[in-house]
Amino acid sequence: MIELMPSYLVLDPANRRLRLDPHEPAFFQNPYKAYGFLHGASSAFFWEDYGFWCFGGFDDVNRLLRDRRFGRQNPAGIPDSRGVGADRSHLSAFDGIEANSMLELEPPVHTRLRTLVNRAFVSRQIERLRPRVEALANELIDRFEPDGVDLLPSFASPLPITIIAEMLGVPVEMGPQLLDWSHQMVAMYMHGRTRETEETANRAARDFSDFLRGYVAERRKQPGDDLLSLLIAAQEDDQKLSEDELVSSAILLLNAGHEATVHQTGNAVRSILAQGGDPSRFFTTPDATAATVEECLRFDAPLHMFLRYAYEEIDAGPGIVLKPGDKIALLLGMANHDPLAFAEPGAFRPGRGDQKNVSFGAGIHFCIGAPLARLELQVSLKTLFERQPRLHLADEPRFRDTFHFHGLERLAVAF
C-alpha cells in the first residue's frame, strides 16, 4: 500500500530534498504516517530543516550503525556541535562532560572506557535486580490514587531513576533533582535550541558534576557495593577511569538509565491499551512478556534519530557523496517500520516471526544499558497490568514536541 504524501511535508523526488518542520504537531504526534510515505518514496533523503542526509531503511540503518567509517566523535574536536554559533565559552561545563562521554567518543578511547564501565556494570548481574524492580513497581502501584493517575510521574519516571540511583549508590531522594539536571542537559540535542537552553544545560552539567565529584570522593575513602565504587575500582591493563571520565560515565548512565525507559514505558502502555481487551493477556508467560516488550520497542521506540559523522569521503548511495565531517542521521523509529523488513509494520504483533529492532542501536555504540532497560520494562509492565487489569486511558495521550526523543506529555489513566 502506497502512502499519500502528508500535507505538512514536501519532498522533491528528483534530488530527494525533504522539507518537514519537526515541530509540526501532525508530525511529532504521529511520525509513522510520514515514515510510511517516505519508505515508498525515498528512505534516504536530505532533510533541509536539519541540514543533513537521513537514512530510514532498516537495512541501511543497521549497516550504517556498524560502519566504522562513521562515528559519534566530531572530527573537528568539538563535542556536540549541533546548533548555531561558534563561541562555546558559555558551554565549558557541558562540553567537559561530553568530551569524556563514551557515547561521543570512538576507539581507542571509547574501547577503553566501555570496557571499564561495562565490567563494572555487568558485575552487578542485572538479573539479580528483578525482585527489587518488582517490589518497587508494586510500591508505586500501591500509592496510586483510586480514581486514576498520570502514569508518567507516578510510575514510569520514578521506577528507573530509583533503580539507577540505587545502583550508583547516590541518594534516591535526589531523584527529582537528578531528573531536572538530566532533562536540562538532554534539551541540548533538540532541534532549534536557544542560548537560554544552552546556559541552562551548562549550569545543570556543572551542578551534576559537582554533586557526583562529592560522592566519588566519599567512595574513594569508603568503597561500597555500588556501581560508583565499582567504577572507581574498575581496571583494565593497569588503567583506571580518570575522575573526569568517571563523572561523565556516571552522568551518562544516570541520564540514559531513565530517559529512554520513561518514554518507552509510556509509549508501551499506550500501544498495549490501543489493542483493546485484557492487557494482561500479553504477559501470561516469561516468553510472552519478553516478546511483548520487544514489539513495544519496535512499534513505538523512544529514540527516533541517532547522529553520526563521516570520517572520510563516502559514497553512501546513489547521488549521496559525503565529505569528512558531514553529519548523517539514522532514523531508528522509521527503520523499525520498514515494510521491506517487517510484515505489516503498523500492526502490533508480539512474537512476530520477523522480530528485530534498532531501538538500542547497533555496533560499538549499542546501548550499554539495554539489558537493564529490557528487565525494567518486562517487570514493570507485567506488574502494572496484572495489578490493574481494568486500567484504561482517561484521555487521549499526546506526544511532546521533542522529536527526536519520542515520548508523551502525560499518560492519564483510570482503573
Phi, psi for residue 412 in degrees, rounded to 5? -75, 125
CA–CA gap between residue 89 and residue 274 (Å, rounded):
48
Query: Letter for the amino acid at 253?
Result: L
Query: Letter for the amino acid at 179?
Result: L
Residue 141 within a domain: yes
CA–CA gap between residue 122 and residue 234 (Å, rounded):
11
Query: Which pLDDT does position 267 carry in this prediction?
Result: 98
In 3D space, the residue among 327, 331, 281, 339 whose CA is nearest the CA of residue 303 turns out to be: 331
Higher pLDDT, 139 or 108: 139
Contact present, 331 and 54 (Cβ < 8 Å): yes
Contact present, 128 and 163 (Cβ < 8 Å): no
What are the tens digits of pLDDT across the range 22-34?
Answer: 999 999 999 999 9
pLDDT exceeds cutoff 90 at 233: no
CA–CA gap between residue 166 and residue 209 (Å, rounded):
18
In sequence order, the β-bridge partners of residue 256 are none
Contact present, 78 and 88 (Cβ < 8 Å): yes
Query: Which pLDDT does position 382 carry in this prediction?
Result: 98
pTM of the model: 0.92
Query: Which pLDDT does position 73 carry in this prediction?
Result: 86
Question: C-alpha distances in angstroms, 367 versus 103, 253, 284, 294?
Answer: 9, 10, 28, 15
Residue 356 within a domain: yes
Chain centroid to Cα 112, Å, comes to 23
Query: Which pLDDT does position 82 carry in this prediction?
Result: 46
What are the tens digits of pLDDT across the range 370-407?
Answer: 999 999 999 999 999 999 999 999 999 999 999 889 99
What are the tens digits of pLDDT across the range 62-87?
Answer: 999 999 999 998 876 655 444 445 67
Residue 208 within a domain: yes
First to last CA, the chain: 38
Give the least confident one: 55-69, 170-184, 226-240.
226-240
Query: Which pLDDT does position 81 carry in this prediction?
Result: 43
Residue 292 within a domain: yes
Query: Which pLDDT does position 109 carry in this prediction?
Result: 87
Query: Which pLDDT does position 47 carry in this prediction?
Result: 98
Residue 210 within a domain: yes
What are the tens digits of pLDDT across the range 273-330?
Answer: 999 999 999 999 999 999 999 999 999 999 999 999 999 999 998 889 999 999 999 9
Residue 2 within a domain: no
Query: Which pLDDT does position 175 carry in this prediction?
Result: 86
What are the tens digits of pLDDT across the range 37-46?
Answer: 999 999 999 9
Contact present, 368 and 117 (Cβ < 8 Å): yes
DSSP 331-394: -HHHHTT-TTTSSSTTS--TT-TT----TT--GGGS-TTHHHHHHHHHHHHHHHHHH-TT-EES
* Count of helices and strands (H, E) across the chain: 16, 14
CATH code, domain with 225: 1.10.630.10
pLDDT exceeds cutoff 60 at 123: no
Domain containing 292 equals 10-414
Residue 328 within a domain: yes
Higher pLDDT, 162 or 240: 162
CA–CA gap between residue 57 and residue 296 (Å, rounded):
19
Residue with cell 484521555: 395
Residue 119 within a domain: yes
pLDDT exceeds cutoff 60 at 7: yes
pLDDT exceeds cutoff 90 at 104: no
CA–CA gap between residue 144 and residue 151 (Å, rounded):
9
CA–CA gap between residue 308 and residue 329 (Å, rounded):
6
pLDDT category at 2 given cuts 50, 70, 90 is low
pLDDT category at 239 given cuts 50, 70, 90 is confident
What are the tens digits of pLDDT across the range 325-345?
Answer: 999 999 999 999 999 999 999
Domain total for the chain?
1
